[in-house]
Amino acid sequence: MNGITRVRIGFATIVIILAINGFFFYRTTKSLENNSLLMAQNRETSRIARTLLIAMVDAETGQRGYLITGEDRYLDPYNHSLKSINSLMSELKELTSESPNQLQYILLLEKAVPEKINELERTIEIQKKQGSEAARQIVLSDVGKQKMDEVREIRPTLKTNPRFSFDHIKSRRRYVELL
């Protein structure tokens, strides 16, 4: 082999190594970009789920205040929360629409949240029409507590979906680094 052939082979080897390196750099960059988007979506989903739970607690607080006092002004947190709950549910559904795992939890929330709202409305109406003792009996049945517990149980599940977890992304990053 003469010197020119060796130079050509060396040059071709360097070009091949650089092309392979470029390919893996591109894949790693795309993977990190995707992970960043997943983490941002996870944070947003968690934030909205937390805001939804706060709105549900506020609605329950307003109902309780009204049941105790019988004064309409105590319904302000309840009325304010009802306005935001539907939009928060829509935001959650939109954010999780591409994740079948999380969408199943949204479907559970779509069932549990209206059931809790119906229970709140029912006790308020009974308080207005039949008095505090009739409303108290509904509260003592624990139906409202069970519905609120369902909502509370679903929220952490949205937050910890493995597809969006930091540990999952770290393990994917380690895998990419091995390539």
The answer on pLDDT for 132 being more than 70 is yes
- Per-residue pLDDT, averaged over 132-159, amounts to 85
Other CB atoms closer than 10 Å to residue 167's CB: what's the count? 9
Closest CA to 48 of 77, 84, 101: 84
- The DSSP 8-state label assigned to residue 4 in this structure reads H
What architecture is the 3-178 domain classified under in CATH? Up-down Bundle (1.20)
Q: Considering the chain, what is the average pLDDT of its residues?
A: 84
Under a CB-based contact definition with an 8 Å cutoff, are residues 135 and 67 in contact? yes
Q: What angle do CA 47, 53, 58 make, to 5 degrees?
A: 125
- Whole-model pTM: value is 0.72
Confidence of residue 159 (pLDDT cuts 50, 70, 90): low
Cα separation, 91 vs 89, in Å, equals 5
pLDDT, residue 7, reads 85
- 115 in helix, strand or coil? helix
Tokens of 151: 């909502």
- pLDDT of 110 higher than 60: yes
